């Protein structure tokens, strides 16, 4: 990826107070060998020891019964969700909930440092060993009472604050090891909060229905992964 303007790189550098390397280097580090994951609409790169970059894919492939079509990703999300830039949307949703997060749950939410155009910068989640924490999908079952107590606390937080994060699913939850016996879940994705990102489920505008969907998400996690 080539830099678009020096001014934007300077802005990134100012925005990312936790980074100790310059903005140009962050941009240059968005390359294939630094890729650490991907989602439906974004690729994820480690761009510094403490930061990852979520970059919107240039195209999104939609498969139908007998054929598939590739759309520009921003065009696809604009048509489907009314959201042109999922990174900017996610950042704004994160800012809305950030102040509501109680101190005792703060380490279960991955910090978003900032977003510029199609790149979102997020704090890497690491274990005590400094290794990047693994997603829940890489575990079969977890036998750790602290972890599951925290899962229940997160569920109650979302319900009490009426924050309907429908993207609570195994590949968006990392297992952070605080020590050899203490694990906590860390939520890394905030882009599907509220009914807007489920345009074909208009009933989610009603709080009681949205709450039931949240409860189902958490119940499914417990059923599939609790030992």
**Number of structural domains found in the chain:** 1
Would you place residue 23 in the very low, low, confident or very high pLDDT band (cuts 50, 70, 90)?
low
User: pLDDT digit string (tens) for 163-220?
Assistant: 999 989 999 999 999 998 899 999 999 988 888 888 889 898 899 999 999 999 999 9
pLDDT value, residue 139: 87
Residue 216 lies in a domain: yes
Range of the domain at 218: 6-225
CB atoms within 10 A of CB 33: 7
Residue 181 lies in a domain: yes
Whether 20 has a pLDDT exceeding 70, the answer reads: no
pLDDT value, residue 114: 87
User: pLDDT digit string (tens) for 90-127?
Assistant: 999 999 999 999 999 999 999 998 888 789 999 999 99
Average pLDDT over every residue of 53-59: 95
pLDDT value, residue 12: 56
The proportion of the chain whose per-residue pLDDT surpasses 90, expressed as a percent, equals 69
Give one DSSP letter per residue of 92-161, joined into a string: HHHHHHHTTS-GGGGGGBPPEEEEETTEEEEEPPB-TTSPBPEEGGG-S-B--HHHHHHHHHHHHHHHHT
pLDDT value, residue 16: 53
Average pLDDT over every residue of 35-49: 94
The proportion of the chain whose per-residue pLDDT surpasses 70, expressed as a percent, equals 90
Q: Which of 116, 110, 115 is nearest to 98 (CA)?
A: 110
- Is 30 in contact with 1 (CB distance < 8 Å)? yes
- CA dist 39 and 41 (Å) reads 6
Residue 98 lies in a domain: yes
pLDDT value, residue 180: 87
Residue 1 lies in a domain: no
Q: Read off the tokens for 157.
A: 């937080």
Would you place residue 18 in the very low, low, confident or very high pLDDT band (cuts 50, 70, 90)?
very low
Whether 2 has a pLDDT exceeding 80, the answer reads: no
Q: Which of 6, 86, 101 is nearest to 39 (CA)?
A: 86
Average pLDDT over every residue of 151-162: 96
Please state the pTM of the whole predicted model: 0.85
Residue 140 lies in a domain: yes
Q: Which residues pair with 121 in a beta bridge?
A: 53, 114
Vertex 96 angle, CA 169 and 52, to 5°: 55
Whether 8 has a pLDDT exceeding 80, the answer reads: no
pLDDT value, residue 162: 93
CATH number of the CATH domain containing 130:
1.10.510
- CA dist 147 and 133 (Å) reads 14
CB atoms within 10 A of CB 207: 11
């Amino acid at each position: 990826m080539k830099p678009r303007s020096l001014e934007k790189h300077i802005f990134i550098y100012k925005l990312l107070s936790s980074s100790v390397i310059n903005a140009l280097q962050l941009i240059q580090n968005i390359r294939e060998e630094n890729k650490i994951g991907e989602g439906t609409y974004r690729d994820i790169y480690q761009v510094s020891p403490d930061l990852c970059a979520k970059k919107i894919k240039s195209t999104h492939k939609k498969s139908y019964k007998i054929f598939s079509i590739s759309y520009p990703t921003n065009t696809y999300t604009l048509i489907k969700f009314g959201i042109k830039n999922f990174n900017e949307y996610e950042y704004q949703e994160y800012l809305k909930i950030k102040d509501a997060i109680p101190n005792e749950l703060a380490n279960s939410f991955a910090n978003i440092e900032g977003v510029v155009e199609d790149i979102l910068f997020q704090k890497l989640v690491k274990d005590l060993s400094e290794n990047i924490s693994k997603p829940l999908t890489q575990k079969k079952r977890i036998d750790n009472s602290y972890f599951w107590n925290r899962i229940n606390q997160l569920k109650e937080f979302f319900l009490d604050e009426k924050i309907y994060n429908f993207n609570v699913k195994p590949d968006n939850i990392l297992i952070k090891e605080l020590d050899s016996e203490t694990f906590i879940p860390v939520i890394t994705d905030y882009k599907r909060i509220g009914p807007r990102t489920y345009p074909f489920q208009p009933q989610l505008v009603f709080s009681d229905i949205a709450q039931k969907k949240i409860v189902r998400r958490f119940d499914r996690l417990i059923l599939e992964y609790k030992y």
